[in-house]
Structure formats: structure tokens, C-alpha cells
Amino acid sequence: MLGELQDSPEVRENSTAWGELRATAVFEPSLREELARTTHTWVHDIAELLARADPLGTAPARAAAAERLTTLVEGLSVRWLSGSLPLGHARRLLRTAVDTELRREID
């Protein structure tokens, strides 16, 4: 997930494009179904990674954690790209959130 928050031209371009797509979907309902599908795939992929990190956790708990984490990445990305949040701080916040979610899975 930290790969989504890197100061490289490719990551900036990709993150900007996704942010623009999400913002456009607010006003263009025709974009929503495909966007929801790709978002679901991303959440599912992160839930699978969480399952590898904590094989004893439950599927619903991993899905909820993945939803929270992917939502956080999107918000951090918007703040970073808009100059509201330094990249290093955004990455630290994400690391803390991942650690918190993994501890929650174990508890």
C-alpha cells in the first residue's frame, strides 16, 4: 500500500488519474459501476494480503480492515497531491494504520 504513496512521476500520475476519476464519478453516474468494481477488486486484494499476515483472522474482519485502509490511502493521496500533507507524514500515517489493523485482527 505504501507503493501508492511515492514521489515518482508514475505514481503521481496514476494517483491523480484515480482521484480525477472518483471526483468525476460524483457527477457522471455512468462511471460508478466500473469504478465500484475496480474498488471492490482492490479491497479484495488487500484483504487477501491481510489474510497472509494473519491467517487466523476472520474474513469479515479482514474485509472491513481492507476497506478502511484503501479508503485511507485514497484520502492520504488527495491530501498529499494537493499539498496539504507532506508525503513522509502520509506514509507514516499509513504505516501506523496498517499496524493498528493487524493488531486488531490478532486481538
As a whole number, mean pLDDT of residues 13-26 equals 95
Kindly indicate the confidence band of residue 103, based on its pLDDT and cuts at 50, 70 and 90.
confident
| Predicted TM-score (pTM) of this structure | 0.90
Average pLDDT over residues 27-51: 96
- Which pLDDT score, from 0 to 100, does residue 2 have? 93
Arithmetic mean of pLDDT, 90-96: 97
Which residues are within 8 A (CB) of 51 and not within 5 positions of it... i.e. 6 or more apart? Answer: 57, 59, 62
pLDDT at 54 over 90: no
Q: How confident is the model at residue 105 (pLDDT cuts 50, 70, 90)?
A: low
What are the residues whose beta carbons fall under 8 Å from the beta carbon of 77, sequence distance 6 or more? 4, 5, 15, 18, 19, 90
Percent pLDDT > 90 in the chain is 90
